[in-house]
Amino acid sequence: MLICLAASVCLAADKPITDDAIVDQVRIKLSADAEVKGGALQAESKQGVVTLTGTVETSRQKDKAAKLAKKVRGVKQVINNIEIKKHG
């Protein structure tokens, strides 16, 4: 019985991650990061290609958001369409 349970856990780990799960994880990473503060950012995923949109204050925040998204399991590519707020 334990062998079957362990096998099913192993098989579950090998399942491809869904786009919904990817988006959830990207949102969690963005919102948890003190520098990015991902509340104003949106993420979409299609077959592992994540598109980031929204606005941030600095180019550093934009770059960091893309790096965070790339670290999520299942992400194949990140398209960074985040805009930097213009001041003035």
Residue 63 belongs to some domain of the structure: yes
- Does 30 have pLDDT greater than 90? yes
Q: How confident is the model at residue 27 (pLDDT cuts 50, 70, 90)?
A: very high
Coil, helix or strand at residue 38: helix
Residue 6 belongs to some domain of the structure: no
Q: How confident is the model at residue 88 (pLDDT cuts 50, 70, 90)?
A: low
Residue 68 belongs to some domain of the structure: yes
Average pLDDT, the chain: 86
Residue 53 belongs to some domain of the structure: yes
Number of domains in the chain: 1
Among 63, 50, 54, smallest CA distance to 22 is for: 50
Q: How confident is the model at residue 16 (pLDDT cuts 50, 70, 90)?
A: confident
- Does 48 have pLDDT greater than 90? yes
Q: How confident is the model at residue 21 (pLDDT cuts 50, 70, 90)?
A: very high
Q: What is the CATH number of the domain that holds 51?
A: 3.30.1340.30
User: Can you give the residue range of the structural domain that contains 79?
Assistant: 17-84
Per the CB < 8 A criterion, the answer to whether 20 and 47 are in contact is: no
